[in-house]
Amino acid sequence: MTADRYRLQIKVEKGHLDGTMLVPKATVPGVLFVHGWGGSQEQYLERARQATAMGCVCLTFDLTGHARTRSEQQTVTRETNLNDLIAAYDTLVGHPLIDRNSIAVIGSSYGGYLATILTELRPVRWLGLRVPALYLDDGWATPKRALHVEHDLVEYRKRIVPATENRALRAAANFNGDVLLVESEHDQIVPHTVIASYLQAFLCAHSLTYRVIEGADHGLSDDGSQRAYTALVVNWLAEMVAGLRAGSRGAAPDHTRT
């Protein structure tokens, strides 16, 4: 680890002592957590705490239309929430300890959808997605709440969507970082076909780790599913960060997709 070196004088009773102070130049990875529709940052605080313990700077936040601004949920659009995410990202990378080349974004459902689009707009090294949702590109300025009325999302999510037809999937197709993709076995909101669309899109990813949480529903409503997801996120981040500190890019040496 490199360090800056400073000559200094240490005052003592009779004059001073000559000294040299060495300060590490090392910066640390940053991790941005994005909750899903109807959720809040509270859902990610424990995972952020564990990521911080491994030497990362973490940021959780509430999207517009949630928590304190819940009154805006009927009118908030995907555009507004994407701008929220960009602002949160810029706040995180503005921290003086952050290594701007080592940013992880972890998102669930709607947050995972937005996080994938973010990779088109900001540098992301590691992308963690749990049950990422899919929405039609039409109606970008329509209130998000209304999309479930104007679009038949149930039918849309039952088919494999080509990357060319969807903004989030186009971003996934262009992403060359490391990916964690987590599915819930009994998800009634984001079915396996949506996960398969993402899997098909991430062809250029440096590494792709795909896991299914057995017995889990979309919202991880039982404690066991919550613990399983936390373990997946923390262990994957630990692998990525350990690889970075060892001098590699942060993935398995053989670059296999597991």
Q: How do beta strands 3-12 and 15-24 pair?
A: antiparallel
Is 173 within the bounds of a domain? yes
Is 74 within the bounds of a domain? yes
CATH number at residue 163: 3.40.50.1820
Is 184 within the bounds of a domain? yes
Contact (CB, 8 A) for 162 and 172: no
In degrees to the nearest 10, what's the CA dihedral of 144, 145, 146, 151?
70
Where does the pLDDT of residue 12 fall: very low under 50, low under 70, confident under 90, or very high at 90 and above? Answer: confident
- Mean pLDDT, rounded, for 175-194: 98
Q: How do beta strands 98-108 and 178-184 pair?
A: unpaired
| pLDDT value at 24 more than 70 | no
Is 2 within the bounds of a domain? no
pLDDT of residue 256: 34
Is 21 within the bounds of a domain? no
What is the extent of the structural domain holding 172?
27-245
pLDDT of residue 2: 57
pLDDT tens digits along 81-134: 999 999 999 999 999 889 999 999 999 999 999 999 999 999 999 999 999 999
Average predicted confidence (pLDDT) for the chain: 91
| pLDDT value at 23 more than 70 | no
Q: What's the total number of domains in the chain?
A: 1
Q: Poorest-confidence range of 153-167, 205-219, 224-238, 240-254?
A: 240-254
Q: Which residue has the tokens 């262009």?
A: 174
Is 10 within the bounds of a domain? no
